[in-house]
Chain A
Amino acid sequence: MSAIQGRPVELADVQGLVRFGYKHLTEACFLLLRVRNPAAARAWLARAPVTSAVRTDRLPDTALHVAFTSEGLRTLGVAPDLCAEFSAEFLAGIASDAARARRLGDVGANDPGGWRWGTGERTPHVAVLLYAVAGGLAALEREIEAECAAGFERIERLSTSATQLAEPFGFADGLSQPQVDWDRKRPLGDHDRLEYDNLVCLGEFLLGYPNEYGLYTPRPLLAPQRDPDGLLPRAEDAPEQADLGRNGCYLVLRQLRQDVRGFWRELDRQAGGDAELRERLAGAMVGRKKDGDPLAAPGTVNDFTYQADSRGLRCPLGAHIRRTNPRNADLPPGARGLLSRLWRVLGFNAAALEQDLVASTRFHRLLRRGRKYGDSAAAARLGAAYESSAEVGLHFMCLAANIKRQFEFVQSAWLIGSKFDGLTGESDPLLGHRLSEPGNSPTDGFSIPQAGGPDRRLSGLPQFVTVQGGAYFFLPGIRALRYLATAP
């Protein structure tokens, strides 16, 4: 496997969104389109000015990205047998059935039946993501809309806030990101990693490269006859085949409405009106202070683990950022040496076992590219006093090579799961749907460990975040995009 490692990443073929968050492009909107005229749609896709991941001397003034749902690929005329090679989650879609909805917590007020977009006739075929410097979006959008008009019908325009500093609850956001191994330096191979590392194999985020298991995630590979013009790159692990997945990835988009007023009012109630305590409780739920300082390791940003805080005295076990990224290695901590390792592998080290309910974070990382929407700056500033009826929230977006093992796993096992890390009666303090579970088990609590006594416990938390829409997309490599535009 190491023999083929040398091939560098074809940055010119990767959509820039995978590599960049475009902080300087403060304006953005996401156009959700349905194909009306496949031929005209394909004609636009064949020449759409998609931004690549190549770093330029001068930062670009705009960026444009294109992604497809599985329904979109089929509607554009991509052959069914080719579509079938994509992952099962992508093919089924985020709102496919009640079982997936249960797994993702899309129940109750989050039920896809009530979504504004993402189901039935409101399922997008194509997402066009537009980014521009301040003042530049309107012109770009006009131009692209004009170009798209012949082939597409717009079903939704997701606008975003001009300022992306804090999310609407008022907390600095987007601080924890995996470091993607663009240089392909991370050693491959299948062995336990004894330390948590923020550097993650490229194959966790881009198809066509080895993932953290040292394996290539399944994706559509084609016989060369199906790519007679050689539009597509060849597969690293099967050089005789064309790789439709290479340099592409899956993209999860979920519109999350945030009840800012409800959030701060509830915290005020829990704190009995004590402003200092209210901030502290909110920070405990997030796992960071408002300015982003992590409770587990004040003074750092993203370079820390929870090893020295295994009981959660500094950062509660159920805090949002601890659930989304528990930052642990493949084996619970212990002495070096083979015997100690063997002992832990067999489960004989009781202290290690206690910290082993959640393990191997490296297989469950997400590259986040979300943007806030609504007047998030006012919401963040005003808190409980934010009385506007205008909706605020987050267009959550993440990129991953494996929707099931990355996004769906984190969402279901770590966020919605009411038994995360040995906890009980609570799911994610920000995102939980709060519905009770069988056996009269509540999920609306939150516990904050305290030194020398029982946990402080918040109960009866209402739902703060409601899902408004969502879809699974494929964000192709640029050559793959042109290939798909030929309706293979």
Chain B
Amino acid sequence: MVLAPVTPGCERGLRELLATMNSKPGMADPANPILPFGQFERLHFARLAVLDDPTVGDIEAHGVPRPDLPVYLALTGSCDGPADRCIADLARDAGTGLRRIFAHCDDFDAQGDLAAWTRAHQRPLAANYINWVGRTVRQVKEESALRRALAARVPRAPLASGAQAQQLRRELIEFVDAEVSAGKLGLTPPDPTPLRWKLAKLLHLLAIPLVGLVLLPFLLVLSPLLIYLLRTKEESDAEICPPPDRAALLELQQLEDHEASNQYTAIGSVKPGLFRRWLVTWLLVLIDYTARHIFTRGFLARVQTIHFAFWAFLDDKRRLVFTSNYDGGHEAYMDDFINKVAWGLNLSFSHGVGWPRTRWLLARGARIENKFKNYQRRHQLPTEVWYKAYPGLTLADLERNQRIREGLEPTHLTDAQVEAWLRLL
């Protein structure tokens, strides 16, 4: 995430400029002249949002005066390979447009090195979730083309026997081979994961539990106090869940449902005090850990509809911003959250000012349906510009297409496996 404070008074001009990048409300034109996202072949998703937090005064409920915090411009993207390379590409090929955007930011140096400035404004993510680690844009597009070609090709009359299914698969493989040779389909083998990444991942895999192990005795000793603090705060922290402003809600809805997927950007203040600050920090470390090492293959607990999501701190951990790219409509997304992973929402968001009351960190909270739905809409911000590299495709599509491709590889499959593969078409 690239983050820079917007120059006071420039916010409106910035929003107007961002709107020119869209073909529909909030939907980036992939070929827009300012940031032609479609040219960047490694870019999955991107967004530009003005982080102007209307709930910043909520913290007064905790007896803390309303802080004077900046309005930020956030540029976020999910790309294959290192973020630095992505930024360098953007600065090189869309420098003029980027400069026009960043010119609305406080400390932008119009004469300086754009890539360096952009890199310097990158903020670390507290937790980062990727639906399928290692699945590239190229792979998504190639596999989608593969499915289309095979779906159009496959005869759909019922098959009489396993042998017939085997024969059909052989013919389809020959067809794919011919199409690949003719350059009509591409099935590029994946780039090997760089050794440095593997090592860093291994180090992370071991380091975090090690730190946990070191801290464990202290936690155990302190646990009565921590539990006391948690329960007292859970019982007394203010709930602030009024219905969202109708005009603001309509503005958000106008940006939604133009596509099979949607975007979500939200911001909120972390409850004051060291207890919440530490708790949310460590819980996000834990979430990041599970996202990096456990939830890397198509699901975040029971939720299978999030492409990318991250949590990031702002303003010295006084605020938290969350973004996600998800399949389906907003209401279905929130119902999925409530009905499948309310405990996970509570774990990560109940430290936000005004969150519906939780019990033991996991229970209630987001399960209080109406309060939660009001809360999340009220904290949501319009995503001014949103780009998705593969319109019309959901994660269910991506996964099916990947399985179709994987099914081409083995020299021998059982009849049942072949039939299951044919069903994917």
Contacts and interface: CB of A to CB of B under 8 A. Distances in A.
22 contacts: A92-B246, A97-B254, A99-B254, A99-B256, A100-B253, A190-B367, A215-B368, A347-B299, A347-B303, A357-B305, A404-B331, A412-B332, A413-B329, A413-B332, A418-B260, A419-B328, A450-B158, A452-B419, A453-B156, A454-B422, A454-B425, A457-B151
Contacts of A159: none
A360 B339 contact: yes
A347 B301 contact: yes
Contacts of B157: 453
A264 to B, nearest CB: 22
Size bracket of the B interface: 35 or more
B391 interface: yes
Interface string B383-423: 00000001111101100100000000000000000010011
B396 A424 contact: yes
Given A422-B396, A438-B259, A413 B328 contact: yes
Contacts of B154: 454
Given A408-B331, A409-B331, A438 B391 contact: yes
Contact of B392 (A98, A356, A438): A438
A454 B301 CA distance: 30
B165 A102 contact: no
Contacts of B419: 451-453
Contacts of A450: 158
Interface in A370-423: 404-405, 408-409, 412-413, 417-419, 422
B369 interface: yes
Minimum-distance CB pairs A-B, first 4: A439-B392, A439-B391, A441-B392, A99-B253
A99 B151 CA distance: 32
A437 interface: yes
Given A97-B254, A345-B301, 10 more contacts: A103-B257, A347-B295, A357-B304, A360-B339, A363-B339, A413-B331, A417-B332, A419-B260, A452-B162, A454-B423
B70 interface: no
A56 interface: no
B21 to A, nearest CB: 16
A190 B346 CA distance: 15
Interface string B348-370: 00000000000000001001111
**Among the interface residues A345, A409, A449, A452, which one has the most CB atoms of the partner chain B within 10 A?**
A452
A404 B335 CA distance: 11
B299 A417 contact: no
A413 B258 CA distance: 14
Given A424-B397, A438-B260, A454-B425, A417 B243 contact: no
A368 B225 CA distance: 54
Contacts of B158: 450-453, 456
**Among the interface residues A357, A419, A456, which one has the most CB atoms of the partner chain B within 10 A?**
A419
A291 interface: no
Contact of A419 (B159, B253, B327, B331): B327
Contacts of B116: none
B156 A454 contact: yes
Interface of B: 151, 154-159, 161-162, 165, 168, 243, 246, 249-250, 253-254, 256-260, 295, 298-305, 327-329, 331-332, 335-336, 339-340, 364, 367-370, 390-394, 396-397, 400, 419, 422-423, 425
A234 to B, nearest CB: 21
Interface in A310-344: 311, 330, 344
B243 A346 contact: no
A424 B328 CA distance: 12
Contact of B302 (A97, A356, A452): A356
A309 interface: no
Given A102-B257, A213-B367, A213-B369, A356 B332 contact: no
Interface residues of A, number: 52
A401 to B, nearest CB: 11
A441 B368 CA distance: 37
Contacts of A440: 392
Nearest to A436: B392
B147 to A, nearest CB: 9
A12 interface: no
A404 B155 CA distance: 42
**Among the interface residues A190, A360, A449, A453, which one has the most CB atoms of the partner chain B within 10 A?**
A453
Contact of A88 (B151, B165, B243): B243
B382 to A, nearest CB: 13
Given A419-B394, A438-B260, A215 B253 contact: no
A451 B257 CA distance: 35
Contacts of B168: 453
Interface string A418-446: 11001010000000000001111100000
A450 B295 CA distance: 33
B165 A452 contact: yes
Contacts of A311: 423
Contact of B335 (A357, A405, A422): A405
Contacts of A330: 339
Nearest to A419: B394
Contact of B393 (A345, A359, A408, A439): A439
Given A405-B335, A449-B423, A437 B392 contact: yes
A366 B359 CA distance: 32
B331 A412 contact: yes
